[in-house]
């Protein structure tokens, strides 16, 4: 007998009929001889609606603890409805909220990390023949307060639960049938990947492909959770050496959610970077890309970096005084940028990827504002208005719309 964790996203539980379909799939999996745990998100649009209520009431100035109390409620509704739907099909079911399981997290509201999953009650229910329905996205901290795991966090709940229960499989069902070479909403010709390595998926997720939350991929890699999008026909997340097709570039990711800040004309002396980035860290602002240019003639330096769009205004505000004190010439901000990245483990052993990437962008007249590389990715920052064009050009330049057997190999 296998133990399977299935996760259904907001679209899959977005209406009563869809909840009935999910119930039928869970029941079918149990009838096929498996123990079944189902993790669900809130019904589609619900979490956005709840976030908007908090914003409307508070104008953005609110207690993170109470934000979590509000936004966690979407999952309570979908778990209850799904358990009712399963029972109406004659199979015993029971729902659990995050605090009932319990998903024990740290205290960082709105982006909590799971520390422990206490799943004894779930094991008992499974042994008694129930289908267990678990609220994704939620946890509880050591103060007994409700926490949430960040947007898209139900993926992480499902993988963490699969690891804790030593499930044989974690199937993630969403509104696409797998991980594609890029977001199929932007490039309709994108192709589904049969397998993707944990590392490539980790890069794709952290570079903006929201099909899986980054933290869920980290956990899948750490606990070797075999995870797939859809059963059988989807994409299997697995070890690098299990991915047969070693093409150079596997996927294109993009992120419109960053903004660029440049501190101009900073005196080039020790301690400057520590001061700028220390100030941002103290304000809990994460910095992504950093580029520093030293002018040989003036001895000054420009420091450019990116932050999440949501942190942009606050970053400019907290930097104002320290930057004036260090004698910088000016601070410039640009929120209308996007980051586009090419990802592939094949880059480790092949050169020429950067050249091909930059050539494709220049052929479309797209100016590159920042460049960042690691061993399996190259990211560029460009003007936001060119993002979709850039993604489509790169998808074509790396022949990702072709069958993987016919693609660029270096
Ligand atoms: P869910 O609500 O089920 O968690 P999400 O909206 O979080 O679903 O994630 C699914 C979406 O991720 C897809 O609709 C698609 O637009 C987007 N996406 C981005 N990059 C990719 C990719 N490389 N492959 C597949 N989907 C992607
Ligand atoms: N409902 C939550 C969100 O919209 C969690 C999730 O869908 O994974 O972010
Ligand atoms: Mg999601």
Ligand 2 centre and the CA of 381: distance in Å?
Answer: 27
* pLDDT tens-digit series, residues 102-159: 999 999 999 999 999 999 999 999 999 999 999 999 999 999 999 999 999 999 999 9
Closest CA to 146 of 55, 57, 53, 70: 70
Ligand 1 centre and the CA of 210: distance in Å?
Answer: 5
Atom of ligand 1 nearest to the CA of 155: 4
In the structure, ligand 3 is a single-atom ion and the residues with CB under 5 Å from it are 152
Name the residue ranges covered by the structural domains of the chain. Answer: 3-175, 242-403
* Arithmetic mean of pLDDT, 39-48: 98
What is 309-352 written as a DSSP string?
GGGHHHHHHHHHHHHHHTT-SEEEEE--EEEEEEE-GGGGT---
Average pLDDT, the chain: 93
Atom of ligand 1 nearest to the CA of 10: 2
Ligand 2 centre and the CA of 154: distance in Å?
Answer: 6
Q: Whose CA is nearest to atom 15 of ligand 1?
A: 183
Least confident of 18-27, 262-271, 372-381, 386-395: 262-271
**31 Cβ contact partners less than 8 Å away, ≥ 6 residues apart:** none
Torsion angle in degrees (nearest 10) through CA of 291, 292, 293, 296: -160
Residue 81, judged by CB atoms within 10 A of its CB (0-12, 13-18, 19+), counts as buried
Least confident of 77-81, 85-89, 402-406: 402-406
Measure the CA–CA gap between 406 and 395, rounded to whole angstroms: 14
CATH architecture for segment(s) 3-175: 3-Layer(aba) Sandwich (3.40)
Measure the CA–CA gap between 232 and 115, rounded to whole angstroms: 31
Measure the CA–CA gap between 146 and 67, rounded to whole angstroms: 10
Q: Whose CA is nearest to atom 9 of ligand 2?
A: 151
Within 10 angstroms of residue 331's Cβ, the number of other Cβ atoms is 18
* pLDDT tens-digit series, residues 208-261: 999 999 999 999 998 877 676 666 688 999 888 766 556 789 999 999 999 999
Closest CA to 193 of 208, 205, 178: 178
Give the closest ligand to the alpha carbon of residue 156: 2
Report residue 378: phi and psi, to 5°. -130, 125
* pLDDT tens-digit series, residues 166-213: 999 999 999 998 999 999 999 999 999 999 999 999 999 999 999 999
The pLDDT, as a whole number, for residue 407 is 64
Ligand 3 centre and the CA of 97: distance in Å?
Answer: 18
Q: Whose CA is nearest to atom 10 of ligand 1?
A: 211
Bridge-based pairing state of the strands 131-135 and 35-40 = parallel
242-403 belongs to which CATH class? alpha beta
Residue 67: its H or E element: helix 64-71
Ligand 2 centre and the CA of 84: distance in Å?
Answer: 21
* pLDDT tens-digit series, residues 366-399: 999 999 999 999 999 999 999 999 999 999 999 9
Q: Whose CA is nearest to atom 5 of ligand 2?
A: 152
* pLDDT tens-digit series, residues 321-338: 999 998 898 999 999 999
Q: Whose CA is nearest to atom 4 of ligand 2?
A: 47
Q: CA quadruple 146, 147, 148, 154: dihedral positive or negative?
A: negative
Contact 349, 176 (CB under 8 A): no
The pLDDT, as a whole number, for residue 410 is 47
The pLDDT, as a whole number, for residue 405 is 61
Q: What do you get for the CA distance between the two ends of the chain, in Å?
A: 45
């Amino acid at each position: 007998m296998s133990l399977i964790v299935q996760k259904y996203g907001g679209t899959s539980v977005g209406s009563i009929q869809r909840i009935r379909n999910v119930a039928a799939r869970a029941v079918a999996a149990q009838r096929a001889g498996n123990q079944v745990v189902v993790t669900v998100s809130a019904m589609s649009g619900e979490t956005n609606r709840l976030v908007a209520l908090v914003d409307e009431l508070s104008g953005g100035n609110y207690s993170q603890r109470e934000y979590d109390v509000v936004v966690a409620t979407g999952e309570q509704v979908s778990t209850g409805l799904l358990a009712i739907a399963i029972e109406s099909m004659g199979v015993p079911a029971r729902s659990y909220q995050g605090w009932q399981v319990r998903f024990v997290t740290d205290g960082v509201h709105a982006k909590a990390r799971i520390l422990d999953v206490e799943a004894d009650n779930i094991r008992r229910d499974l042994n008694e023949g129930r289908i267990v329905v678990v609220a994704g996205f939620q946890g509880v901290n050591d103060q007994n307060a409700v926490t949430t795991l960040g947007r898209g966090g139900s993926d992480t709940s499902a993988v963490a639960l699969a690891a804790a229960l030593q499930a044989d499989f974690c199937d993630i069902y969403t509104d696409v049938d797998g991980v594609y070479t890029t977001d199929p909403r932007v490039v309709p010709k994108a192709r589904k990947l049969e397998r993707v390595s944990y590392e490539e998926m980790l890069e794709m997720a952290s570079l903006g492909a929201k099909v899986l939350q980054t933290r869920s991929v980290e956990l899948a890699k750490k606990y070797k959770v075999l995870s797939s999008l859809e059963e059988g026909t989807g994409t299997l997340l697995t070890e690098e050496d299990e991915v047969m097709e070693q093409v150079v570039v596997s996927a294109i990711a993009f992120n419109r959610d960053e903004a660029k800040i440049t501190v101009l004309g900073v005196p080039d002396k020790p301690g400057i970077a520590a001061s700028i980035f220390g100030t941002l860290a103290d304000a809990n602002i994460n910095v992504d890309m950093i580029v520093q240019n030293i002018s040989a003639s003036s001895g000054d330096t420009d420091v450019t970096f990116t932050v999440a769009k949501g942190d942009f205004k606050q970053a400019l505000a907290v930097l104002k005084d320290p930057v004036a004190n260090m004698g910088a010439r000016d601070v410039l901000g640009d929120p209308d940028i996007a980051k586009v990245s090419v990802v592939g483990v094949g880059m480790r052993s092949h050169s020429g990827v950067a050249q091909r990437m930059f050539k494709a962008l220049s052929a479309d007249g797209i100016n590159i504002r920042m460049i960042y590389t690691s061993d399996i990715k190259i990211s560029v920052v460009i003007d936001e208005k060119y993002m979709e064009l850039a993604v489509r050009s790169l998808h074509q330049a790396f022949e990702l719309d072709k069958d993987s057997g016919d693609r660029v190999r270096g």
